[in-house]
């Protein structure tokens, strides 16, 4: 195995990623070293790169939708062996000792580590990961199509669970997460309404192709009041828009890790026991449950593939909403 690897490195927030040659990291006790085959390009990566999420490790290798094969394991690793294909998500490690971890709410851990934020991620030819926070991947998905399941899919699934048993569901921002969770919701026999940017005819046609019952601009009201709404677009003004769209007792789930300011709104659109809540990270139980379900449905991931050295181009395509489905880097 070579001693060095190519990686796309963030050296300062707001600056383009730089192509660097780095030493291949070595797995510590409890870790695995992966030969990275694919890594999804998530909107969270944009928030880190653009400085909207403060205090990342710098310099930093972005990427937390990692698919690769184990090439070496540190001492104490029993879950995986060399040759196994695994996926690495955003949640890279938790303390296991705080109140949240003890309550099996590790997504709210007081001392977490996140992949591609506190720990170097997958915009590289190799990456290390805590073996206890990696997932075995279903054989139903090849590397590129498995990658978006590890964040877009997982966060979408957790958001859907927090929407409860809503039968009429609205999805605001029809990108990587939305196109996956919409398939799960349709399979669950929910009625899905997709809300896109104004005039996004292609995005609306994409939503219909996935089984959505209605698709329109985010400024439009749905045909009928919603039971719940999921907001994936990082646009604060969508919160009052979604509140106006849900019926009394309905829930608005804000599924992003970052959002622009939510404007003031009249109490009357919250009244009637409507609920606004957020989604934070994921648990390992979420991952195991969703990956099994995704293979069973099966969820079809729509991807646009970029070579590793085009990571800046891929990030910009996500930033401008030019990717239908999910962007994925080919790293091997």
Q: What does the pLDDT look like over 185-203, one tens digit per residue? A: 999 999 999 999 988 999 9
pLDDT > 90? residue 19 = yes
Judgement on whether residues 18 and 117 belong to the same structural domain of the protein? yes
Q: Do residues 126 and 33 touch, judged by C-beta distance below 8 A?
A: yes
Mark which of 246, 261, 278 sits at the end of a domain.
278
**Residues 6 or more apart whose Cβ sits within 8 Å of residue 231:** 172, 173, 238, 239, 242, 252, 253, 254, 255, 256, 259
> Same structural domain for residues 173 and 107?
no
Same domain, 167 and 91: no
User: Which structure tokens are listed for 158?
Assistant: 């957790």
b/e burial code for range 12-30 (CB count within 10 A of at least 16 → b): ebeeebeeeebebbebeeb
Query: Given 252, 278, 304, which residue is the final one in a domain?
Result: 278
Considering the domain architecture, whether residues 15 and 128 belong to the same structural domain is answered as yes
pLDDT grade, residue 1 (50/70/90)?
low
Domain count, the chain: 2
| pLDDT band per the 50, 70, 90 thresholds, residue 225 | very high
Give the separation between CA 240 and CA 230, rounded to whole angstroms.
12
**Domain end call among 278, 300, 316:** 278
pLDDT band of 115, cuts 50, 70, 90: very high
Q: Are 131 and 172 in a shared domain?
A: no
CATH number at residue 27: 3.90.180.10
Q: Are residues 36 and 73 in the same domain?
A: yes
Average pLDDT over residues 64-72: 98
Range 201-209 contact pairs with CB under 8 angstroms and sequence separation of 24 or more: 202/324, 203/174, 203/324, 204/174, 206/174, 206/179, 206/302, 206/324, 206/325, 207/174, 207/179, 207/182
Residue 197: CATH number of its domain: 3.40.50.720
Which tokens go with 231? 């907001």
Residue 270 shares a structural domain with residue 289:
no
Confidence of residue 328 (pLDDT cuts 50, 70, 90): very high
Using CA atoms, how far apart are residues 147 and 242, in angstroms rounded to an integer?
A: 29
Same domain, yes or no: 89 and 138: yes
How much is the pLDDT for 332? 84
Average pLDDT, the chain: 96
Residues 166 and 255 placed together within one structural domain of the fold = yes
**Can you tell me the mean pLDDT for 327-332?**
95
* Displacement of CA 92 from its chain's centroid (Å): 14
My answer on whether 138 and 237 are in the same domain is no
Q: Are residues 188 and 241 in the same domain?
A: yes
Kindly state whether residues 237 and 288 are assigned to the same domain: no
The range of the structural domain enclosing residue 291 comes to: 4-150+282-330
Angle between helices 176-187 and 152-162 (to 10 degrees): 50
CA distances from 127 to 18, 23, 62, 130, 223 (A): 17, 11, 11, 10, 47
Per the document, the length of the chain is 332
Residue range 209-226: mean pLDDT, rounded? 95
């Amino acid at each position: 195995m070579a001693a060095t690897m190519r990686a796309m490195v963030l050296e300062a927030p707001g600056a383009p990623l730089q192509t660097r040659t780095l030493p291949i990291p070595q797995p510590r006790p409890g870790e695995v070293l992966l030969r990275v085959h694919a890594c999804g390009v998530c909107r969270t990566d944009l928030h880190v790169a653009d400085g909207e999420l403060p205090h990342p490790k710098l310099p930093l290798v972005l990427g937390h939708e990692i698919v690769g094969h184990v090439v070496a394991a540190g001492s104490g690793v029993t879950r995986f062996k060399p040759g196994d294909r695994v996926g690495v998500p955003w949640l890279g490690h938790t303390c296991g000792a705080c109140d949240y971890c003890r309550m099996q709410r590790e997504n709210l851990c007081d001392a977490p580590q996140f992949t591609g934020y506190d720990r170097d991620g997958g915009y590289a030819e190799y990456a290390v990961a805590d073996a206890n926070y990696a997932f075995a991947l279903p054989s139903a998905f090849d590397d590129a199509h498995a990658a978006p399941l590890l964040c877009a899919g997982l966060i979408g699934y957790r958001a859907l669970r927090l929407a409860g048993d809503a039968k009429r569901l609205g999805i605001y921002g029809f990108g990587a997460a939305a196109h996956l969770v919409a398939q799960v919701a349709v399979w669950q026999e929910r009625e899905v309404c997709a809300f896109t940017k104004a005039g996004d005819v292609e995005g609306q046609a994409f939503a219909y192709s996935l089984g959505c019952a209605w698709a329109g601009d985010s400024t439009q009201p749905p045909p009928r009041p919603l039971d719940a709404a999921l907001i994936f677009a990082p646009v604060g003004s969508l919160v009052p828009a979604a509140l106006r769209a849900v019926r009394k007792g309905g829930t608005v789930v804000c599924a992003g890790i970052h959002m622009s300011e939510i404007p003031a709104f009249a109490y009357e659109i919250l009244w009637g026991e409507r609920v606004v809540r957020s989604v934070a990270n994921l648990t390992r139980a979420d991952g195991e449950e969703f990956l099994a379900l995704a293979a069973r449905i099966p969820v079809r991931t729509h991807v646009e593939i970029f070579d590793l050295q085009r990571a800046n181009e891929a990030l910009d395509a996500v930033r401008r909403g030019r990717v239908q489905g999910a962007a994925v880097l080919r790293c091997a």
